[in-house]
Amino acid sequence: MLRLVESLPADRVRGLIGPWCHQYPDRGLPPGPAIGFLQETPRWWDRWLRPTVTSVAESESESSPGPDPDPEPDAIGHPDLGVLNPDLGVINNPGPDATTDPDPGVNGDPGPGVNGHPDPGMNDDPDPGVNNDPDPGVRNRDVMAQPLLRSYVMAPRRRRTRPSPAAGRATPPGPPPP
Amino acid sequence: MTPIAYATRGAPVLVCSPQHTGVDAGRFRPVGNDADLPSNQREEVARSACFEFDVPGETWILGCPGVLLRLTSHSPWGQVIARVCDVAADGSSTLVTRGALNLSARYGPDRAVSWKPGSTEDVVFDMTALGYAFPSGHRIRLSLSCAYWSWIWPQPGSAAGFVLDPAGSSLELPVRARESDPRITFEEPERSEPLGVTSPATLDEPRPERLVVRDVARGEWRLEADPHQDATRVYPDGLECTEDAPDTYTIDESDPLSARTRSTRSIRPHRPEPPWDARDETRSELGCDAREFITANELICKDGNEVVFHRTRERRIPRTADWSPGGGMGNPEEHGADR
């Protein structure tokens, strides 16, 4: 976990390390100490997943779909998927001409924008009936595809520096370290 | 945070640990049971090469400790395991952190490169990240072994171990300057109402959580692990569920190819009214030879006493991605590692 905290952007990651066993830290199992873990987690999720008052007001005033020229600083961007706002259920596609993820399962609908009506002929969604009910928390908006966020999180193992070979010690043959 | 290197000293030493080294490692995934955390490391010290460093003043660490080791091996394959302990004045020791390296992965986990027998190389690897404070007057002990069963499955031909040259080796600790910390506090745990599941007392004594059995003449060590967490549970709506999940890990002191495990699982949900009784039973065994892992699995599903599904399956899985001639891993028969 420290490798992730070291490698990911500082404003996007938070690590919590303690002496707990392999169970959630609110359970109070030995060696403890039990902490209010279930209070910490919604704070993080609220920060990143809840719609903000600002984002809902801005989206409702949009009259046409199109690229978002000034993505909100809080939005989680991905070069292939476009911009995923924290406002759940809304995917601001850059538009049909922009580069999108070629995998149809991810972002299959290059068509109508977020405030239009779904066109069944253009929708690659294999189960178009699933998302027809608007989320009551996201007023008057349809989910156009099966939202999917694919994230690859990798942190390289740290390479420690090696000393140069000591005089007199045979340098072993073999591939050099990468 | 400053990495501080503690250089080891002394003449080259042969590290040739018996295959049951690691018997006091504790549970790989501790869940709060009495036997989960590692016990006294006194006996593991006797199976390892150890180096000690004084702790004149209280020393705080936060991060990944690591080791740089100069090794000479006469086998193409092997592994090295490093452990750091906090040793008190009375000799008792607390296992602080540990790490392991498959020597074939010393150039990266994506490349399998066997060791050229007789050659000397420097290897580096990290140990598990942690925060810890070594009290003043204690000693830091670095223990190195060439085996750690059942956490690490031993490579073929690795029983001979390797020679460690302390002159080219060191332990690196991420030492932290202790300024005044911002106070980090958490609230008291807040949880929902418990479900009301009960565990009736049983007539039989539960099996011990972790039992080590040693066959002295054969040199065989067997670890019997039984998590027995609430073996029978009764739910508020009348559902009863009985589970059993023992594992055994067996190895002979001198033979890496003798390593084998056996896991059986049974789960039995049942209701008295309306009466139904379902049972799933599985048996999984894992062994090896020099080239392959050998797995056997069995699944039996029962409705009451009637078997409604039964399947067995055996598979052999190559031990490495690259056994091709001329591949990086060499040939176990050439080096006697298959015996």
Contacting residues of A for B120, CB less than 8 Å apart: 169-170, 172
pLDDT tens for residues B263-275?
Answer: 999 999 999 888 9
Q: Give a yes or no: residue B198 inside a domain.
A: no
pLDDT tens for residues B180-215?
Answer: 666 788 999 998 888 899 988 877 778 888 999 999
Check whether residue B252 and residue B118 sit in a common domain. Answer: no
Which of A22, A164, A171 is the mutation pick for testing B, counting most B CBs within 10 A?
A: A22
Q: Give a yes or no: residue B201 inside a domain.
A: no
Choice between A169 and B129, residue whose per-residue pLDDT is larger: B129
User: Using CB atoms, which residue from A21, A163, A166 is nearest to B32?
Assistant: A21
- Domain tally for chain B? 2
* CB-CB under 8 Å, B129 with A1: yes
Which of A160, A169, A171 is the mutation pick for testing B, counting most B CBs within 10 A?
A: A160
User: Using CB atoms, which residue from B30, B64, B189 is nearest to A36?
Assistant: B189
For residues A48-58, give the mean pLDDT.
Answer: 63
Q: In the predicted model, is pLDDT for residue A30 greater than 80?
A: yes
Check whether residue B149 and residue B229 sit in a common domain. Answer: no
Q: Give a yes or no: residue B90 inside a domain.
A: yes
Query: How far apart are the C-alpha atoms of B292 and B156, rounded to whole Å?
Result: 10
For residues B63-90, give the mean pLDDT.
Answer: 95
Check whether residue B218 and residue B170 sit in a common domain. Answer: no
Specify which of A1-15, A43-57, A112-126, B70-84 reaches the highest per-range mean pLDDT: B70-84
pLDDT of residue B201: 81
pLDDT of residue A124: 44
Q: Name the least confident of A54-68, B86-100, B208-222, B247-261.
A: A54-68
pLDDT of residue B328: 60
Choice between A111 and A23, residue whose per-residue pLDDT is larger: A23
Q: Residue B317 contacts by C-beta under 8 Å, 6 or more apart in sequence?
A: B292, B293, B295
For residues A88-106, give the mean pLDDT.
Answer: 39
Choice between B186 and B325, residue whose per-residue pLDDT is larger: B186
Nearest CA in chain A to B168: A166
Q: Residue B174 contacts by C-beta under 8 Å, 6 or more apart in sequence?
A: B1, B2, B3, B61, B62, B63, B64, B65
* CB-CB under 8 Å, B113 with A159: no
Query: How far apart are the C-alpha atoms of A48 and A168, rounded to whole Å?
Result: 58
Domain that holds residue B170: 2-28+37-176
pLDDT of residue A67: 45
Contacting residues of B for A159, CB less than 8 Å apart: 124
Which of A21, A24, A164 is the mutation pick for testing B, counting most B CBs within 10 A?
A: A21
Q: Give a yes or no: residue B317 inside a domain.
A: yes
* CB-CB under 8 Å, A157 with B109: yes
For residues B279-306, give the mean pLDDT.
Answer: 96
Q: Give a yes or no: residue B231 inside a domain.
A: yes
Contacting residues of A for B109, CB less than 8 Å apart: 157
Domain boundary among B176, B197, B219: B176
Nearest CA in chain A to B63: A2
Check whether residue B9 and residue B153 sit in a common domain. Answer: yes
Q: Give a yes or no: residue B331 inside a domain.
A: yes
* CB-CB under 8 Å, A157 with B189: no
Check whether residue B168 and residue B22 sit in a common domain. Answer: yes
Q: Are A178 and B107 in contact (CB under 8 A)?
A: yes
pLDDT band at B91 (very low <50, low <70, confident <90, very high): confident
DSSP state at residue A107 = H
Check whether residue B167 and residue B305 sit in a common domain. Answer: no
Contacting residues of A for B126, CB less than 8 Å apart: 157-158, 160
Instruction: Enter the pTM of the model.
Output: 0.72
Contacting residues of A for B172, CB less than 8 Å apart: 160
Contact with chain B for residue A16, Cβ under 8 A? no
Domain boundary among B125, B150, B176: B176
Distance from CA of B118 to the nearest CA of A (A): 10
Q: In the predicted model, is pLDDT for residue A154 greater than 70?
A: no
For residues B97-107, give the mean pLDDT.
Answer: 95
Check whether residue B17 and residue B155 sit in a common domain. Answer: yes
User: Using CB atoms, which residue from A30, A35, A170 is nearest to B186?
Assistant: A35
* CB-CB under 8 Å, B111 with A162: no
Contact with chain A for residue B129, Cβ under 8 A? yes
Query: How far apart are the C-alpha atoms of A118 and B6, rounded to whole Å?
Result: 66
Q: Are B287 and B259 in contact (CB under 8 A)?
A: yes
pLDDT of residue B110: 82
Strand partners, B295: B286, B315
pLDDT tens for residues B121-162?
Answer: 999 999 999 889 999 999 999 999 999 999 999 999 999 999
* CB-CB under 8 Å, B131 with A170: no
Mean pLDDT of chain A: 57
Domain boundary among B176, B196, B218: B176
Q: Give a yes or no: residue B193 inside a domain.
A: no
Check whether residue B291 and residue B227 sit in a common domain. Answer: yes
Specify which of A94-103, A126-135, A156-165, A167-176 reaches the highest per-range mean pLDDT: A156-165
Check whether residue B14 and residue B146 sit in a common domain. Answer: yes
Check whether residue B136 and residue B245 sit in a common domain. Answer: no
Q: In the predicted model, is pLDDT for residue B261 greater than 60?
A: yes
pLDDT of residue A150: 66
What percent of chain B has a predicted confidence (pLDDT) above 70?
93
Q: Give a yes or no: residue B237 inside a domain.
A: yes
User: Using CB atoms, which residue from B34, B64, B116 is nearest to A158?
Assistant: B64
Nearest to B278 by CA among B266, B289, B269: B269
Contacting residues of B for A24, CB less than 8 Å apart: none
Distance from CA of B282 to the nearest CA of A (A): 24
Check whether residue B97 and residue B215 sit in a common domain. Answer: no
Check whether residue B321 and residue B216 sit in a common domain. Answer: yes
State the ipTM, two decimals: 0.78
Q: What is the CATH number of the domain that holds B146?
A: 2.60.120.260
